[in-house]
Amino acid sequence: MNPKGIIPILAFSIVINFVLFTSSSWAEHFGTPEFSQGIPYSEFSKHLTNEILRKYFLVWKRQFQSANKINDEDFERKVLLISVSNDGYKTDDDFIMISYFVKIDWYKAQVSSFNLPIMMSPSRDEYKHILPRRGVYFSDEEIIKYLEAGNDFQLRFRLNEPLAIKTKEDAETKLTEAVEGNSIPTGWFRYWINNDGDPIISTIVTVDSKSNHCKGGEINVITGKIDVRKTRCRVY
C-alpha cells in the first residue's frame, strides 16, 4: 500500500472523531461528567454548562430544598451530586436524570436517578392533568406544579434529624450481631433511603445454602431500630 495514501485517511479520521466528541449535541446527550463519589454543588455547578440542564436542575434544586427545609449551605453539605443528563434521543419527549448522594452526618447513600420530565410527546398520556402541553419545554411553574402534585416523594429525606447510631462501624457491628453473623464483608452492606426518607443499612447472611435459607436485617440509623427476618438466599 502507498504510505502516502495513509496520511490523509488518518488525518480525516482524527478530524471526524474530534468533531464528534466535542460537538454540543454530544455534550447535551451525555450531560455533565460523572463523579462516582459525588461532589458539592459549588464544584459541580462549574460542569453544569448546558443551558437546558442548568435551567431545570435549578428548579429541582429549589424544590428539593423547600421539601427538606434546608438552605444553600445545607444543600452543599448534605447533597453530593454525581451527574445530570438528559436522554438526548428525541426532540419532543425529554427527561432530565439527576443522580446524587444524600449525606447525613457520617451516613451516605446514593439515590437512584431522579427522572424529571421537561417535555412530553403528543403521543404520551402521562401526567396530562398536570402537564397538558405537549411537544414544548415545560415552564418552571409547570415543573413545580408537577413536583407539588405528589411527585416529590423522591425529594423528601430526614436530613435534619440526629442519628441514633453515631458511627458507621457501630451501625455495621450492631447489624452483624442482630443477624447472628460472625463477620460480614463491608461490600455486603447496602446503604439506601426508604420510602419514608429514612436512612437504612441492610445486609443478608446465609444460614443454610442447601435449603436456600438466609437471614436479612436492616437498621434505621435515625431511630436505631433493627428488623431481622428470614428470607430466601436465591429467588428462582
44, pLDDT greater than 80: yes
Predicted model pTM: 0.77
CA–CA distance, 169 with 162 (Å, rounded to integer): 17
Task: Please tell me the predicted confidence (pLDDT) of residue 127.
Answer: 77
| 155: amino acid identity, one letter | L
- From the list 233, 218, 104, 106, the residue with the least C-alpha distance to 167 is 106
- From the list 187, 150, 159, 153, the residue with the least C-alpha distance to 172 is 187
Give the CA distances from residue 206 to residues 57, 145, 155, in Å, rounded to whole numbers and listed in that order: 43, 47, 35
Identify the residue whose cell numbers are 445486609: 203
CA–CA distance, 50 with 113 (Å, rounded to integer): 18
Counting beta carbons within 10 angstroms of the beta carbon of residue 178, is it exposed (0 to 12), middle (13 to 18) or buried (19 or more)? middle
Kindly report, residue by residue over 150-162, the tens digit of the pLDDT.
655 567 899 999 9
90, pLDDT greater than 60: no
2, pLDDT greater than 50: no
b/e string for 71-107 if b means 16 or more Cβ within 10 A? Answer: eeeebeebbbbbbbbbeeeeeebbbbbbbbbbbbbeb
